Amino acid sequence: MKKVLRDVQITVDGVDLSDHFTSITVEDAANEVDATAFGSVYTSAVKGMRTAQISGTVQQDFDTASVDDTLSALNDQETTFEVEVIPDAGVISATNPGYRIAEAQLMGYSPLSGGVGDLSTTDITFTNAGDAGVERIIVPGP
């Protein structure tokens, strides 16, 4: 069945910030490395280094333990944390797979963004910092 995003669950370092996100993109891509040699008619490419990230737009909230408390602290630290996205909030399954970066880092954070009269939103990117990249999970964790 075609998917309409209505109830995506986004968890950052354990905190469910789903009700503040308005968009989300999970990416796992490889650099295209040209491998064309003499004698070829067509160019050919091989996969190079991979890049994994989860990015999105979040509505700002300065309440205790909400958006700013969570993201500013993660931006200030060097250690990694987990980010997980589930298409439909609830139990992960083969038809509702979770996408997780187990070792993510926040390379930057803009706590305030917007113009007069705007709802304050900010674009955020969680970058992979481990070896696993984006993991696709179809079995719920313990």
Partner 1 sequence: MGKYRVKGSHRFLGHEPGEEFEADLDEGQEKRAVARGSISRVNKKSADAEDTKAEKAEKEKE
Instruction: Name the residue nearer to partner 1 (CB basis): 40 or 72.
Output: 72
Residue with tokens 């408390």: 69
In angstroms, what is the minimal distance from the CB of 52 to partner 1? 20
Q: From the CB of 60, what's the least distance to partner 1, in Å?
A: 14
User: Is 109:75 a contact under the CB 8 Å cutoff?
Assistant: yes
Instruction: Give the three-class secondary structure for 2.
Output: coil
**For partner 1, the closer CB: 51 or 59:** 59
Written as six digits, the tokens of 25 are 């993109």
Q: Please give the torsion angle defined by the CA atoms of residues 104, 110, 114 and 115, in that order, rounded to the nearest 10 degrees.
A: -170
Smallest distance from partner 1 to CB 20, Å: 9
- Is 76 or 131 the residue whose CB approaches partner 1 more closely? 76
